[in-house]
């Protein structure tokens, strides 16, 4: 089930909202959990058991780490539990084994990565093994469950956070308890339908308190609804319309493709993947607000970046921060080991996370190598060569790297991707060309492309201060103001237009579902 579908918007979502607001507080999490399981099972019922196994495993491992972190019992005079790290200060307490706690964490990581490897990478592993082996090995093709990378990373981050923080004390001497002993609440955290199958990757620590107590008043509902409508419009109007053109161009004969067509296809896919994924993230964030949860932002206008380093601060922020906190920093980050090696490992992992194909690994390395180069040439930011390059040149360089990278992302066949890039520079047309770019870009599509490009820019920030402040005021006008009324009328029109596009089109993919 996808958000931009009639089934979701006209049936599933209204039932979920009505049930949620009608039920008492103690039943709200159960309702959301049941709805989330139904939402996931709608597309592929069998694979719900894989997600349930992931939830159960992380729940048990979290409890074990909590058990090994400290011993409940008599503390220093107040009857409280004693943190593992402070147990030696009191002879009346016996700490649990720290080594068992660490072993449990290792087993947890292997458990999660094992599930991810089998269902996502086993086919690639066997195909590669057969290519390099003299003997053909037969195997059963393993289907990829939707959203497995997202919910696996959420479950793994939960247990790692419990390992890092559970049982420690803050500056006030209060003990931190991160472990979730309620299986329903943990299951809801991992399986919550707004972010279940395409992110953003939500940290347990960000919504831990909201799982127990959250605000669901009219203000948060309206804020969430507005954000959902904006995301729906991004997906239904922009991503779907532009994506149809991108698919037609990428499926055309490269041997008779003129450069303008190849560039049009690359630009269309660049816009499609952004509005597809950021639209989904907007809808997820909006739905989270409707049900009282506050998810962190996942995109921050990445196509205005002036370096690949900046691009990854703005693109898929939840994934970038996940790899930073759970891979880059544990490897040593900027302080230990070779920072270039650490960054390269992160981008290898980033590429493979996106898909089980060597083109994704190359895509990750492509971005990683440019980030390494930027770091090397920008050691001294004020006097570096990079700092003296005009902003427009830096933006152009960044977008070229990103666009070429997306071609590898779109075409998993690396030789074909290289041929497509060659067609962009005139290597594709031999003798005659089949169509010009104008054949694919009619007047309606040109208008949509202009709107999409305009939507990539934070106008409130780039316009002159006086005009930009007016735009910001309009976007954040409070209830009852004229600007708020006008904004909501425009949003209703946008909603109706989005529904019109959905009803009249059969093209409605979500690119990140396969990750």
Please tell me the predicted confidence (pLDDT) of residue 417.
Answer: 92
How does pLDDT run across 270-284, given as a tens digit for each residue?
Answer: 999 999 999 999 999
Identify whether residues 255 and 290 lie together within a single domain.
Answer: yes
Confidence bin at 301 (pLDDT 50/70/90):
very high
pLDDT band, residue 315 (cuts 50/70/90): very high
Does pLDDT of 14 surpass 90?
yes
| Residue-range definition of the domain harbouring residue 35 | 27-213
> Which pLDDT band holds residue 97 (cuts at 50, 70, 90)?
low
| Judgement on whether residues 256 and 326 belong to the same structural domain of the protein | yes
Note whether residue 314 is domain-resident. Answer: yes
Q: Please check whether residues 437 and 319 belong to one and the same domain.
A: yes
Say if residue 376 is exposed, middle or buried (CB neighbours under 10 Å; 0-12, 13-18, 19+).
Answer: exposed
> What pLDDT, on a 0 to 100 scale, did the predictor assign at position 334?
83
Helix (H, G, I), strand (E, B) or coil at 71: strand
pLDDT confidence of residue 168? 57
Last residue of a domain, one of 213, 246, 261: 213
Residue 18 inside a domain? The answer is no
Instruction: Decide which of 213, 247, 270 is a domain's last residue.
Output: 213
Q: Sorting pLDDT into bands at 50, 70 and 90, what band is 327?
A: very high
* Residue 39 near residue 1 (C-beta atoms within 8 A): yes
- Do residues 38 and 179 both lie within one domain? yes
User: 250 pLDDT exceeds 60?
Assistant: yes
Residue 183, by phi and psi: left (phi above 0), alpha (psi -120 to 50) or beta?
Answer: alpha
Q: Are 444 and 435 in contact (CB under 8 A)?
A: no
Residues 195 and 265 in one domain: no
Average pLDDT score over residue span 354-378: 91
Most confident of 175-179, 191-195, 199-203, 465-469: 191-195
Q: Comparing 21 with 93, which gets the higher pLDDT?
A: 21
Q: Are residues 67 and 117 in the same domain?
A: yes
**What's the whole-number mean pLDDT along residues 354-367?**
92
222-247 burial by CB neighbour count: b if 16+ within 10 A, else e? bebbbbbbbbbbbbbbbbbbbbbbbb
- Asked if pLDDT for residue 96 goes beyond 80, the answer is no
426: in domain: yes
Instruction: Give domain status of residue 396, yes or no.
Output: yes
- pLDDT given for residue 34 in this prediction: 96
Q: Is the pLDDT of residue 468 over 80?
A: no
Catalytic annotation present for 256: no
Q: Determine, yes or no, domain membership for 13.
A: no
Look at residue 218 in the predicted model and tell me its pLDDT: 86
Residue 447 pLDDT grade (very low, low, confident, very high; cuts 50, 70, 90): very high
Q: What is the mean pLDDT of residues 276-305?
A: 94
Instruction: For residue range 252-271, list pLDDT tens digits in order.
Output: 888 888 899 999 999 999 99
Bigger pLDDT: 200 or 172? Answer: 200
Same domain, 317 and 333: yes
Cβ neighbours of residue 36 closer than 8 Å, sequence gap 6 or more:
188, 191, 192, 193, 196
pLDDT tens, 120-152?
A: 999 998 988 888 887 788 888 888 898 899 999
162 domain-assigned: yes
Assess whether 475 and 506 both reside in one domain.
yes
pLDDT, one tens digit per residue, over 58-88 is 999 999 998 887 654 433 334 344 444 444 4
Residue 3 within any structural domain of the chain: no
Same domain, 167 and 116: yes
Residue of 66, 316, 354, 367 with catalytic role: 354
* The pLDDT value given to residue 72: 45
**If we measure between CA atoms, which residue out of 284, 302, 301, 282 comes closest to residue 293?**
284
Q: Is residue 480 a part of any domain in this protein? A: yes
**Residue that terminates a domain, selected from 176, 198, 213:** 213
Rounded Cα distance between 338 and 89, Å, is 37
Neighbours of 259 (CB within 10 A): 17
In this predicted structure, what is the pLDDT of residue 94? 41
- Please report the pLDDT score of residue 172 as a whole number: 61
- pLDDT band (50, 70, 90) for residue 27: very high
pLDDT range class, residue 286, cuts 50, 70, 90: very high
3-state secondary structure string across 145-168: CCCHHHHHHHHHHHHHHHHHHCCC
DSSP class of residue 47 equals G
Section 185-214 average pLDDT: 90
Average pLDDT score, the chain: 86
Average confidence (pLDDT) over 397-406: 96
Q: Do residues 255 and 157 both lie within one domain? A: no
pLDDT of residue 90: 43
Whether residues 380 and 325 share a domain: the answer is: yes
Is the pLDDT confidence value at 201 over 60? yes
Q: Tally the domains of the chain.
A: 2
User: Is the Cβ–Cβ distance between 235 and 499 less than 8 Å?
Assistant: no
User: What is the Cα–Cα distance from 331 to 380, expressed in whole angstroms?
Assistant: 24
**Shared-domain flag, residues 166 and 242:** no
């Amino acid at each position: 089930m996808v958000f931009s579908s009639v089934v979701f918007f006209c049936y599933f979502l209204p039932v979920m909202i009505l049930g949620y607001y009608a039920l008492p507080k103690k039943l709200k999490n159960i309702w959301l959990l049941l709805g989330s399981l139904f939402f996931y099972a709608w597309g592929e019922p069998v694979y719900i058991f894989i997600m349930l196994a992931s939830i159960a495993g992380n729940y048990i491992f979290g409890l074990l780490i909590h058990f090994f972190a400290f011993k409940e019992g008599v503390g220093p005079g107040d009857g409280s539990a004693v943190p593992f790290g402070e147990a030696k200060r009191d002879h009346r307490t016996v700490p649990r084994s720290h080594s068992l706690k660490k072993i449990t964490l290792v087993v947890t990581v292997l458990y999660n990565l094992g599930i991810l490897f089998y269902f996502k990478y086993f086919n690639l592993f066997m195909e590669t093994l057969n290519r390099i082996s003299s003997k053909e090995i037969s195997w059963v093709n393993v289907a990829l469950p939707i959203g497995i990378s997202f919910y696996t990373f959420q479950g793994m981050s939960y247990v790692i956070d419990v390992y890092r923080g559970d049982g420690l004390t803050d500056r006030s001497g209060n003990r931190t308890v991160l472990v979730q002993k309620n299986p329903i609440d943990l299951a809801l955290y991992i399986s919550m339908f707004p972010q279940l199958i395409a992110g953003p990757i939500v940290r347990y620590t960000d919504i831990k308190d909201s799982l127990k107590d959250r605000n669901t008043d009219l203000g948060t509902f309206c804020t969430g609804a507005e954000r959902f409508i904006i995301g729906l419009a991004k997906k239904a109007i922009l991503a779907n319309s532009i994506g149809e053109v991108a698919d037609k161009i990428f499926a055309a004969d490269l041997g008779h493709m003129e450069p303008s067509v190849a560039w049009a296809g690359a630009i269309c896919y660049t816009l499609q993947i952004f509005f597809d994924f950021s639209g989904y993230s907007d809808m997820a964030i909006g739905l989270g607000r409707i049900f009282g949860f506050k998810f962190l932002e996942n995109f921050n206008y990445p196509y205005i970046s002036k370096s690949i380093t900046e691009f990854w601060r703005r693109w898929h922020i939840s994934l970038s921060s996940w790899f930073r906190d759970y891979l880059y920093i544990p490897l040593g980050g900027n302080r230990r080991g070779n920072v270039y090696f650490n960054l390269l490992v992160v981008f290898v992992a980033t590429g493979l996370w996106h898909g089980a194909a060597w083109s994704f690994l190359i895509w990750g390395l492509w971005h990683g190598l440019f980030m390494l180069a930027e770091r090397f040439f920008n050691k001294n930011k004020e006097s570096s060569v990079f700092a003296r390059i005009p902003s427009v040149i830096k933006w152009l360089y960044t977008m070229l790297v990103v666009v070429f990278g997306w071609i590898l992302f779109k075409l998993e066949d690396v030789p074909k991707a290289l041929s497509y890039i060659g067609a962009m520079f005139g290597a594709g047309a031999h003798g005659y060309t089949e169509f010009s770019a104008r054949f694919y870009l009619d007047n309606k599509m040109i208008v949509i492309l202009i709107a999409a490009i305009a939507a990539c820019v934070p106008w409130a920030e780039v316009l002159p201060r006086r005009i930009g402040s007016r735009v910001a005021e309009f976007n954040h006008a409070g209830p009852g103001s004229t600007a708020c009324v006008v904004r909501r009328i425009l949003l209703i029109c946008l909603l109706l237009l989005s529904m019109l596009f959905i009803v009249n089109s059969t093209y409605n993919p979500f690119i990140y579902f396969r990750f």
